[in-house]
Amino acid sequence: MAKTVKLKYDFDTSRSCEIKHMGKWYRVTSRQFRSYDGERRISIPVSFDKNDYESYEGPIYLFATNNLVESKNTNKIIYTSEGDPRDKNKVNRRPY
């Protein structure tokens, strides 16, 4: 039986987390955000219909773990050697 670990979040998870991939900004989950090896930013609400953004330079973790990794600017989510855990379920298989 696998052990479940409470993931560390070094940022406010209630904010909108975005990553820059292939020149565009995409909104992602907090779990994907903490494991992305590239440019990251977090939104800061200014008014009802306007956001500002703050660049995030925090640590990078292996996906779904608390293991730190060094940045190599790969612009990818960093997974363990087992790969993306979502790919084990045929329902979740997607072309990447």
Q: Is the pLDDT at 17 greater than 60, yes or no?
A: yes
Residue 52 placed within a domain: yes
The model's pLDDT over 44-70, given as tens digits with 9 standing for 90+, comes to 999 999 999 999 999 999 998 999 999
* Mean of pLDDT over the chain: 88
- Secondary structure of residue 86 in the 3-state scheme: helix
Q: Can you tell me the mean pLDDT for 23-47?
A: 96
Residue 75 placed within a domain: yes
Give the per-residue pLDDT at 92: 53
Q: Is the pLDDT at 90 greater than 90, yes or no?
A: no
Domain count, the chain: 1
42-49's contacts with Cβ under 8 Å and 24+ in sequence apart are: 42/11, 42/12, 42/15, 42/16, 42/17, 42/18, 43/15, 43/16, 43/18, 44/15
Domain that holds residue 61: 17-92
Give the per-residue pLDDT at 11: 95
Residue 1 placed within a domain: no
